[in-house]
Every structure is written in structure tokens, then in C-alpha cells.
Structure 1
Amino acid sequence: MQLTKVVTIGISGPSCSGKTTLALLLKKLLNRVIVINQDEYFKSDDQIPIDENTGLANWDSPAAIDFKSLNEAIDKARRDPFALLTKKEKKLQNNHHGSDLMTKQDFNDISDQLKFLEDIIFIIVEGFLLFCDEDVCANLDNKFFVTASRQVLKKRRESRPGYKTLQGYWVDPPGYFDQIVYPQYLLWNSHLLDPKTIDPSIQILNTDNTSVKEMTTVVINSLTQNYT
């Protein structure tokens, strides 16, 4: 019988909001961590839906993600976390290296709380569309939505060189953020952007006015309150 507590953390938000940075920082801070990256569950390049208006591949649609396999991966990690703790994980793609923005002193400031979480295995699920799939959302014990202003998101996205795919490498065509990325973000996350419809269990973290240290501290405080 498995006696170790296993807890899932869902970190979602628009492209370039800072969610991968947060996931990497939590991996550094927490004692036992498994990271599942939604980007590993994109469908094959030839299965990505085509946007009717632009004729461009729409990588930001839920139809581009194999949510069934993603949810099965979360279930598998819950059932047998020890097998995954010893397995070498794929490195998260994080082109702006924000996980280096916390100093040694920043880590020390948080360290006192971490001892209360040492015996828990945390499964961090990171991705830009986690909360639009009911099954995946229901499989997440703690939910954080990392966001930023359109201007900041656009600047970060357009500074990135591209993304690895199953069959190759994707580079955003000119105007892709305005035509695909941001409209799709608004469409599929509308329930999170309206205070009247947002799930109260989802905590919103805005990186426009929250530092990396503050954002990480909010998550650690939440975990400490929930599991100690």
C-alpha cells in the first residue's frame, strides 16, 4: 500500500506568461518532484488543425493536444510516482531562462517552509491549456493560472526563435501572435478571465506586477497551508 502522499499541481496560462519559469523554480525548491509538460502531448504535425481565416497551423487550439494521453500520464504518475522519480525527464523548453531570476538569498527566504513539504511527492503539470479540459482539470489538486498583459506576452513570444515539434521545428510566421496565439488564448480561457465565471480553486498570478520570487512564494505558501 502506498503511504506517501502524492499531490498534483497544475500551472497554466498563455504562452510566455512565466508558467514554465514557475515550474522550473518549484522543481528546484521542492524535495521530490515529477514534471509533466503539456507540450509533450501535441499531436503530430500533420494533425494540427488549420485556421480557416489564415490558413496557418493552429498550435494554440485544444484540438492540437492529445488530452487523453496527457491525463493518462498524470494517472500513471499518481499510481507509481517512484518509477518516474528515478527516470530522467526531458528538459522543459524555457527560452528566456527566468528560473535564474531568484538569488540564493531568495531561496533561503523560502527554505523554512519547505521542510514541511519534504515527504510529499509533487507532480507538476505545466501547459497553456490545462484548464479547458475537464478531465485534466479534475486531476489537478492545486491550480495556478499565470498571466501577463498582451503587450508583455507579445514581446516575449516574438523574441523566441521557435519550438521543437514531433516531426520538426516550428517558427511563428509574421503576425502569428495577433492572428492565432492571443485570440485563441482569449477564446479557450474566457472562463478564467471573467471574475463571474472563474473557478475559485484556481489562483491567478499576474507576472506584470508580481516578481518571480513573489509568485513562487505564493505557491509555496498555498502548498504549506494545504498540506501541513
Structure 2
Amino acid sequence: MVKSSVGSNLYTYDAAPTVPPISAKPDQRLLINNQLPGQLLVSTPSSTLTTMASPTTFIVGLSGLSSTGKTTLSRLLRSLIPSSFILHQDDFYHPDGAIPLHAGGLQDWDCAGSINWEYLCRVLDSVHEFGALPADLKSLQDDSPVGAEPEQKLVSPETMRRLKKRLDDNIRADVRVAILDGFLMLHRDSPVEERMDVKVLLRVPHETAKQRREARNGYVTIEGFWTDPPGYFDKIVWPNYVDEHKYLFVDGDVEGRLTSEAEEKRRIHTPESLDASMEETLEWAVNILISELKLKLASASSPSSL
């Protein structure tokens, strides 16, 4: 149980509610152990009453080119936000034999057609409803190494303490944060963009991403293991990224500025500097997260939204 006071109320809720399998039918997902997932117990000075209510859940989407630091940033945010958990887009690839082939005959793991979007969307809808991952979702990616050193070494302990205090002071304990980590979530006609409450597009220079990608040993897949063949980044990864994201940028320059439509209307956030350290990126992301969640909570509580 987790307890948190908000105003004069005391909220008590399950830190990890039991969530039905994503394959369950709607009527089977209504009650679990005779209670709704995320049940809140609300106590006031004069009385105690129980409300059957799901937690407030926000999905923070961290998208971007492969090897831009998305998983590292996701893990750092998870370590700072007790009510958070990570959902990896890489867990939603099609089986190895169903991955599309590139014109050159290689499997194309970096295109939209490689992802099972229908399944991912159903899981995101479940996360929004229940505030936790479905019981039958098993991640292949959560414990996989992502960089040359542990993410905690990339940010000073002092910065981590300071950012944790900021988050604790600004995010209610009854709010759950789902961090969606993926390489292709803001492409044109993306089915998941509308499900994201906060949209972040991480970027690094082309050469930095290339060096990081080519330094990796490979990737765990549903049916085995994938290792990039020589030249894979420049033949497939980078061209796919440019083709799917240039519409977001002024003059199609993916290392330049976002268009006003992407920035102001769709509220996509991307760091100004492509060379920012992970410590700088984490601090920037925390500021974005707090600002966007405040806006979402204010909008949800306004009379016009009721």
C-alpha cells in the first residue's frame, strides 16, 4: 500500500494493482478479486469512505531514432517516479519470420510494418484504464543492457536527489506514469500518438547514433536474436527515420527545428541541442513532464471537460 495526502484527503492505493490479461473479454475485466484495480481509499478528517475508482494514469511517450538514449532516459525516470513503469515498443515486434524485407533483401526491423500496432494499442488502452501493465505482458527488453555503462553513472547523485524532490513535490502519489519507450511512435498516421499524454522526440547527431548502434552486440527478439549486418544503419535505420519524421521538421531537416504545427498544436517536445548530456536531457525531460502533467490534470478537472 502507498499513502499520500492531497489537501485534506489521504489517498491509499495499491502500488502494483492486479490487471487482467489483455486477452480477457471486457466483461471479464470488470472486477478482479472483488474489487476494481487501483481502488482508492479516501479518508477525510470527519469521515472515511471508500470509492471504487481507477488511478489517474498518464502515458509519457519517448520516441526517436534508435540509439538516442530513450531506454536510458526511461529507466532514469522510472527510478525517480515511484508510481511509474516502462512499456517497451520493442516488445511489440511481429514474430521474426513476419518482419518485412527491405529492397536489398534484409529484414527491416526499423520500419512501421515491423510493429504489431493493434496489440500495442490494446495494451495502451488497458494501461490507461487500469494504471498498470496487463498480467500476461512479459517484457523481453526490460533487463537488457543498453549502453556502455549503467544509466545511474550518467547523472550525478546530487542531480538525481534534486530531481526526485521536484517530482515528488509536483506529481500526486495517486497518479501513475507509464513511460512508453519506442523508436517509431510519431511517424505520420501513428496509431499511438493520440494515446500519449506527453510526447517527447529524442535526437542525437547522425554520427553519434550510428556509433552507438554499431557498438551494440545485437537485440533479443521474440524468436531469437538479431545482429545488424554491416552497413545496416546507413542503409535502413537512418533512411527510415528520416522518411518517417521529416514531415515534423522545417524544410524536412530532421536535425533542425520542429514545425510550429508539430510544436504548438501537437505539443511534441524535442531537445534544442542534439549534443546534450544525459544529465541535461533528464533535467529537461523532468521539466517537460511536470509541465505537461499539470496541464492535463488542470484540463481534466475543468468544468468544460466534465
Question: Does TM-score exceed 0.5, indicating one fold?
Answer: yes
User: Residues 17 and 207 of structure 1 are in contact (CA less than 8 Å); yes or no, is this contact kept in structure 2?
Assistant: no
User: Residues 21 and 94 of structure 1 are in contact (CA less than 8 Å); yes or no, is this contact kept in structure 2?
Assistant: no
* Paired amino acid for 1:43: H
Structure 2 residue aligned with 1:142:
198
Partner SS, residue 27 of structure 1: helix
Report the TM-score, using the length of structure 2 for normalisation.
0.69
Matches within 5 A, 1:152-167: 152-167=208-223
Shift in Å, 1:79: 1.1
Partner SS, residue 123 of structure 1: strand
Partner SS, residue 159 of structure 2: helix
Partner SS, residue 151 of structure 2: helix
Unaligned runs of 5+ in 2: 1-51, 251-257, 295-306
Match of 1:102 among 135, 155, 164: 155
Q: Is 1:114 aligned with 2:174? A: no
CA gap 1:221/1:162 in 2 versus in 1, 3 angstroms:
same
Structure 2 residue aligned with 1:218:
284
Partner SS, residue 177 of structure 1: helix
Matches within 5 A, 1:127-206: 127-132=182-187, 133-194=189-250, 195-196=258-259, 199-200=262-263, 201-205=267-271
Q: Is 1:76 aligned with 2:110? A: no
Shift in Å, 1:209: 2.3
Shift in Å, 1:131: 1.0
CA RMSD of aligned residues (A): 2.1
Shift in Å, 1:34: 2.2
* Paired amino acid for 1:214: E
User: Residues 20 and 92 of structure 1 are in contact (CA less than 8 Å); yes or no, is this contact kept in structure 2?
Assistant: no
With 91-100 and 147-156 compared, the bigger mean Cα shift is at: 91-100
Structure with more helix by fraction:
1
Structure 2 residue aligned with 1:93:
144
CA gap 1:58/1:8 in 2 versus in 1, 3 angstroms:
same
Q: 1 CA distance for matches of 2:273 and 2:226?
A: 26
1:36-95 alpha-carbon deviations (Å, 9 max, x no partner): 10000000111111111x11001111000001111111111111125669x986525342
CA gap 1:25/1:84 in 2 versus in 1, 3 angstroms:
farther
CA gap 1:83/1:164 in 2 versus in 1, 3 angstroms:
closer
* Paired amino acid for 1:178: D
Count residues with an aligned counterpart: 226
CA gap 1:58/1:207 in 2 versus in 1, 3 angstroms:
farther
Shift in Å, 1:217: 1.3
Rg: which structure is higher? 2
Shift in Å, 1:224: 2.1
Structure 2 residue aligned with 1:12:
63
Q: Which is bigger in relative contact order (C-alpha 8 A, separation at least 6)? A: 1
User: Residues 60 and 198 of structure 2 are in contact (CA less than 8 Å); yes or no, is this contact kept in structure 1?
Assistant: yes
* Paired amino acid for 2:151: S
Q: 2 CA distance for matches of 1:83 and 1:94?
A: 21
Q: 2 CA distance for matches of 1:163 and 1:7?
A: 28
CA gap 1:45/1:227 in 2 versus in 1, 3 angstroms:
closer
CA gap 1:64/1:41 in 2 versus in 1, 3 angstroms:
same
Unaligned runs of 5+ in 1: none
4+ residue runs over 4 A deviation = 82-85, 87-90
1:106-148 alpha-carbon deviations (Å, 9 max, x no partner): 1122133112214110011110001125320000000100011
* Paired amino acid for 2:60: I
Shift in Å, 1:193: 3.4
Percent identical across equivalent pairs? 28
CA gap 1:82/1:196 in 2 versus in 1, 3 angstroms:
closer
CA gap 1:188/1:45 in 2 versus in 1, 3 angstroms:
same
